[in-house]
Amino acid sequence: MVLLLIKEKSNMKYNPLQIRGLKPVIPIIQGGMAVRVSTGKLAGAVAKCNAVGVIGGSGMSVEELKEEISIARKIAEGKGIIAVNIMVAAHDFLELVQACIDEKVELLIAGAGFSMDVFKMTKGTSTAFAPVVSSAKAAKLGLKLGADAIIVEGKEAGGHLGTDRPIREILKEVLEVIDGKVPVIGAGGILHGSDICEILKMGADGVQMATRFVLSDECIVDDKYKQYYLNHSKEDMHVFLSPVGYPGRAIMTKFLQKVENKQIGKFPCKHLCLKSCNRRFCIIEALVSAQAGDVDNGIVFAGERFSEIKDILPVKTIIDNLLEEIKNC
């Protein structure tokens, strides 16, 4: 177990998160959100705070991903860890994985599916690998195949979901299976320092947070996207079937209403972005539209508790606030 939890004068302390031989960092991973929500600017700012900054690589070309990695590294100034998250369901998944290995990305994260190939590709390289799982069975398989860390995601997360079970329920089972052999990171519905404390006290080595970092100055999405978070309530949350083949959690938009009312049907695929697509609608165009500010015609992914966020802050302030809240747990 990497993290040791000590109660001293009612203040919680923790040892840094360490994955494989990577330098120790504070136990916060910023989730990798596609398409172009988590870019080099956001990942670099998080890493500069000595945490793990993650670029959402799905939907990017190899050259674009390499450029975002370079941007993140310049901003981070050698601090923290730069990681990349890629959906296994992406058509060019293995090509993007190889690009990360070639660029000597410190940590690769993959969800929305499970790939045997990526374990073989990263073995013996300087790139550590952490699969995103939603069951003890998948965690056990990941450990057997050589995962350097396991990210456990519950139903509370935004974006594509691998389960309808809550994080705390799954995390307990995964921790028993992993038994301290590699770091375990909890993800889904984590917004505040008190959430981090609870997950760490359960025995996790760290947390992954995505939704909170959408409302940061360094997240490059259009301001209309951020205001959509601030101007909607938990009653506007909706889970739908994504073309990826997984349920997706998002804030209801006019576009999503049309999809659910079957006013939008199958389409001729222009992007070939997925290995398998149900063609219910074009997910990449919907995500790009929203990211660019056309939220009415897009998909706005968000975690279950998005409405609890009330402000847009610099990344450093968000992380400083979280660490102060942890101290006071």
pTM of the model: 0.93
Q: What is the pLDDT of residues 306-326, one digit of tens each?
A: 999 999 999 999 999 999 999
**pLDDT for the residue 279:** 81
| CATH number 3.10.20.30 is the correct assignment for the domain at 6-219+310-327 | no
Q: What is the mean pLDDT of residues 146-159?
A: 97
Between CA 326 and CA 329 the distance in angstroms is: 5
Between CA 248 and CA 164 the distance in angstroms is: 11
Q: What is the pLDDT of residues 167-180, one digit of tens each?
A: 999 999 999 999 99
**pLDDT for the residue 64:** 97
**pLDDT for the residue 7:** 36
Between CA 214 and CA 291 the distance in angstroms is: 11
**What band does 1 get if pLDDT is binned at 50, 70 and 90?**
very low
Concatenating the DSSP letter of every residue in 246-310 gives SEEEEE--HHHHHHHTT-S-----SS--BSS---SS-HHHHHHHHHTT-GGGS-EE--TTGGG--
Q: Where are the domains of the chain?
A: 6-219+310-327, 223-308
Reduced to 3 states (helix: H, G, I; strand: E, B; else coil), residue 78 is: coil
Q: What is the pLDDT of residues 230-248, one digit of tens each?
A: 999 999 999 999 988 889 9
Question: Cβ distance 108 to 94 under 8 Å?
Answer: no
* The pLDDT of residue 3 is above 50: no
Q: What is the mean pLDDT of residues 220-232?
A: 98
* The pLDDT of residue 226 is above 90: yes
Residue corresponding to tokens 């993959």: 110
**What band does 141 get if pLDDT is binned at 50, 70 and 90?**
very high
How many other β-carbons are positioned within 10 Å of the β-carbon of residue 154? 23
Tokens (6 digits) for 211 = 């939704």
Q: What is the mean pLDDT of residues 131-159?
A: 97
Q: What is the mean pLDDT of residues 25-36?
A: 95
What integer best gives the mean pLDDT of the chain? Answer: 93
**pLDDT for the residue 12:** 64
**What band does 280 get if pLDDT is binned at 50, 70 and 90?**
confident
**What band does 11 get if pLDDT is binned at 50, 70 and 90?**
low
Mean pLDDT check: name the lowest of 8-17, 62-71, 125-134, 184-193.
Answer: 8-17
